[in-house]
Copies of this chain bind each other. A is one copy, B any other.
Amino acid sequence: MERIEEFLAERDRLNKRLLAQADLPIKRFFALDQDVFEDGAIPGKYKELLGLVASAVLRCEDCVTYHLHRASQAGATHHEIEESLAIALLIGGSITVPLLRRAFERLESL
Contacts and interface: CB of A to CB of B under 8 A. Distances in A.
Contacts of A41: 77, 79-80, 82-83
Contact of A94 (B21, B33, B77): B33
Interface residues of A, number: 64
* Secondary structure class of chain A's binding surface, majority of residues: helix
Contacts of A62: 98
B21 A83 contact: no
Contacts of A46: 42, 46, 49
Contact of A78 (B21, B29, B54, B86): B21
Interface string A10-49: 0100110110011111101100110111001110001101
